[in-house]
Amino acid sequence: METDRIEREKAFHDVRFENEDPRRSIKKYYSVVQSTKAIYRQHIISLCEGKQLLELGCGPSGSTQLWHRNGAKVTGIDISPEGIKKAKATAESKNLDIEYFAMNAEQTEFEDNSFDLVVGMGIIHHLDLHTCYKELARILKPSGAAFFMEPLGHNPLVNLFRLLTPKMRTEDEHPLLIKDIDLAYEYFNEVSPEFYQLTSLAAFPFRSTSAFEPVAGRLEKFDQFLF
């Protein structure tokens, strides 16, 4: 049932944000995607000044403070009340004018055409995409845009890693497939996917050495040639 799925997500992330993050041990694996995160963030920074921006799945802070520093009028939502409680406390301690709400991204409480930008990192692969895309189309202004950085489900090595580490994620996660990207065309006038990190995942064993950046850089260029 949909209610069960949403409650499982809420419970997992409440534990994650309130206690020791069960995913802390896999942060080292994210070293290979730092360059892609930088591209994602820089693109949003280039567009967000003066814009009404909503971040989905913001957690205790997400990137909301970054968007705020770059001139956006920021709202953050998360399924986890614990994450939102911490986000509010941090914003208040820094006197930041950012709004936070514990809210389901599939069924928000915002009015139609509320936001110029909706963004998120590693969030929509937790959601029912039909419902999520429909809601995004509703709350975005006619000239608005959404930007997400998400895992794909086509790499067998990554899928094996996920299979071997089930406690590090919720049972309802579903890394996106090409059909999930194609589905977006039913809800949006323009869809522009960009792909990163295929062979460059092989740079991971070098993450703690001086060879990491040159190896990762070359593999990322090779990835772009392949894509």
Give alpha helix (H) positions in the chain. 2-18, 34-45, 64-69, 81-93, 129-139, 156-164, 178-183, 212-226
Please tell me whether residue 213 adopts helix, strand or coil conformation. Answer: helix
pLDDT at 139: 98
Q: How confident is the model at residue 26 (pLDDT cuts 50, 70, 90)?
A: low
Give alpha helix (H) positions in 46-128. 64-69, 81-93
- 217-227 mean pLDDT: 94
Higher pLDDT, 17 or 36: 36
Contacts of range 19-28, beta carbons closer than 8 Å, 24 or more positions apart: 22/167, 22/168, 23/168, 23/169, 25/168, 26/165, 26/168, 28/207
pLDDT tens, residue by residue, 62-72: 799 999 999 99
pLDDT tens, residue by residue, 173-183: 899 999 999 99
pLDDT tens, residue by residue, 139-172: 999 999 999 999 999 988 778 878 887 777 888 8
∠ CA 108-184-64, nearest 5°, is: 45
pLDDT tens, residue by residue, 30-40: 677 889 999 99
By percentage, how much of the chain surpasses pLDDT 90?
69
Average pLDDT, the chain: 91
Lowest mean pLDDT among 91-100, 138-147, 197-206: 197-206
Cross-strand bridge partners of residue 78? 102
pTM: 0.91
